[in-house]
Structure 1
Amino acid sequence: MSVGHSVAEDRAAREAATVELFEARAAASDPERQRVLLERIVELNLEIARGIAQRFRGRGAELEDLEQVAYVGLMKAATNYRLEADTPFIGYAVPTIRGEVKRYFRDCAWTVRIPRRLQEIQGLVSAKLPELEQSLEREPSTEELAEFLELEVKDVEQALAARGCFTTLSLDRPADETGLSLAEVMPDEDDVAVRQLEAVDMLQPILHDLPPRERRILELRFVEGWTQADIGAEVGVSQMQVSRLLRGTLDKLRHRLTPLQAAA
């Protein structure tokens, strides 16, 4: 069994288990039982949240913070999702989580404009703190740090507090070695990698519903890179039949996927 096929099976199994948990939660009348089932749904789908958080790393926010925000989005998705919706949970969860992460950047990041003086103090702290920690053999207090930097305690406190959302970053600060500002690095359009992640995850339950021969042909063509002639020899049909099967299967996937993308 190929690695790609194994991953597809794992995702299909996760989606099936998620549906079962939602069904059990819908049938449960005890609030505590509903809460436990909701937590199990979230735990089962944490990989989705982590994957989306990974796509947004390197934009000034700590990965741990992004993951926490993504978990909040996953919890919201699990809480609000309804089984009667004509959309698999993954198709509902991915745009919900992504929206939560984007709100984090908009509300917590882009509105934070750290005064230049506090940025300078933060730079001093970053440069000098290791030296002071080595000298003291422990983490210094704010007062000790202020004394070491020859600054007012209140100034150091403000600089440290301003590290909340973006450590020492502001919109105008260079984001990387290219010299581009953070505002220039953050694209206006949706991240292509995130859209690809969504498409792959949305497709998993749809692919699972295909007949085995159609799944095999798709795997050979788009995962293994086989030619249509080789595929035909493998599955026992002509090259022309492979072409028709591929076209029909792709049309079927496109038809099933379009409503999910519209819902996103």
Structure 2
Amino acid sequence: MSNTIDLAEQSPMSIGSEAASMTDRSTLPTPARRPGMRRGVDSCDNLEPLFAGLAQLDHADEQRKLLRETLICRCLPLAENIARKYACRGENFEDLLQSARVGLVLAVDRFDPDQGVPFPAFAIPTIMGEVRRYFRDCTWAVQVPRRLKEIQQAIGPAIDRLFQRLGHTPTAAEIAAELDSDLIEVTHALIARNGYRSSSIDASFGNGGDYPPLSMLDTLGGEQPEFGLVEDRVAVRPLIEALPEQDRRVLLMRFFDFQPQARIADSLGVSQMQVSRRLTGLLNDLREQALRD
């Protein structure tokens, strides 16, 4: 039987004295020497004596490093089991496993056997928290504020509870009341959910018929030069509204009613030359103000 099992059967004080007296590294268990060691979550059972011995060793002691490594290796199946519970969410399993192992290392370093809590009861929330942090910080396709990520994670369970209670899909206001959050933040979080996943515009899709598959890029329209006219109209409209009434009338008759200058002149009781000069001056003034603004 391996030295790891022998240590587990001893008292905390004997573990500390024995570990401190070890001078030959080969007498300590290492990841390569684990014959007969149990696999699965139950491999984390009865580790408190080992942690008690670990606490008695100096941080610079080589024997402490080896004992810490043994504890981590023995609990690796626990981290793997937790990572597999989250593997159905579409993320790469290796990334989830790496995050779970980081959480395991944190749990080993933070565990205090004097608190009287079994190590799995302490390690499982720590590991799950690290995996959830990975989902929160590393899996979004679009950068989203942390606050919205936290609300977004709570929205799913809240919707399920409200649907069971109300019998219909809850509104944003009902979700905000359930979470005791601001309605604007909840609304932004609901919109932000669309940024969790992204699709390539080069990805092909088709209906399986006689037509060749198309990419999203093929279905997008081209540039519309008329969009620039919308911006120009938004910029010029308040400037036109600020003009004197007669100047606005001249512009409306010429560019909205499409009346010739001669008819505008007759309507105002002036000459066509005066109308032409007034239009030229108005357009130049509007252009200068719009560009300046």
The TM tier, using the shorter chain, reads: 0.3 to 0.5
* TM-score normalised by L of structure 2: 0.35
Query: Radius of gyration: which is bigger?
Result: 2
More helix per residue: 1 or 2? Answer: 1
* TM-score normalised by L of structure 1: 0.39
